[in-house]
Amino acid sequence: MVYPADAKQASLAVTNSDKNLRFLIQSWVETTNGEKTTDFIMTPPLFVSKPQGENTLRIMYVGQTPPTDRESVYWINVKAIPAVEREAVQGKNVLQLAVLSRIKLFVRPAGLAMSPADAPAKLTFHKQGNKISINNPTPYYITLVNFNIGNHNLPNTMAAPKSNTDIAIPAGVNGSIKYQTINDYGANTPSINGVMK
């Protein structure tokens, strides 16, 4: 999800597609270190989602002014806890699971120098020993998927803006680099041949 830094708020729809169950929905925002942050307010933070109902979460940035030369990233967390009818489970062993959905939240400053669609092709790669360094000179976070060197699959990786991200690779892995990225709409971009420097 992209949150324009100059926006007052953004919204996220939460849909309960179940025909019978109600869910208690709890939501919050975390930093990339997994710590709850007060940079955002999510309303309502706790509500009941009725069967086949839709609710809207409002997300408001209230933190310090974010960097103006690059994106910042956070995680939206939405936990769905199913309702339990006491009579239905009384005297029975029951396993009940809550589902936690995590969504990347990018705070994007206005007026960045390039389009986010142009950023993936700007990545360069450097192989040194048993690691590959990804250089991201752009102001955007770029998530690489279907990431390969030769015939070896590499893990999905998020490259931070204006920095290098290192990935360990097994000894002897060589070949050309191919990858796709995830665009602003959550879709995979066309495959790109990586530039090794």
Give the tens place of pLDDT for each residue, 35-88: 999 999 999 999 999 999 999 999 999 999 999 999 999 999 999 999 887 777
120: left (phi over 0), alpha (psi -120 to 50) or beta: alpha
Q: What is the pLDDT of residue 53?
A: 95
CATH superfamily entry for domain 2-108: Immunoglobulins (2.60.40.10)
| Residue 27 identity | S
Delimit the domains of the chain by residue range: 2-108, 116-196
Three-state DSSP class for residue 195: strand
Average confidence (pLDDT) over 179-195: 94
Q: Which two tokens stand for residue 189?
A: 């971009």
Mean pLDDT of the chain: 93
Q: What is the pLDDT of residue 173?
A: 84
Average confidence (pLDDT) over 138-150: 96
Average confidence (pLDDT) over 105-112: 95
CATH superfamily entry for domain 116-196: Immunoglobulins (2.60.40.10)
pLDDT-wise least confident of 20-24, 83-87, 126-130, 153-157: 83-87
pLDDT tens for residues 115-136? 999 999 999 999 988 899 999 9
Share of the chain above pLDDT 70, in %: 100
For residues 111 and 146, is the Cβ–Cβ distance under 8 A? Answer: no
Per the confidence metrics, is the pTM higher than 0.95? no
Q: Do domains 2-108 and 116-196 have the same CATH topology?
A: yes
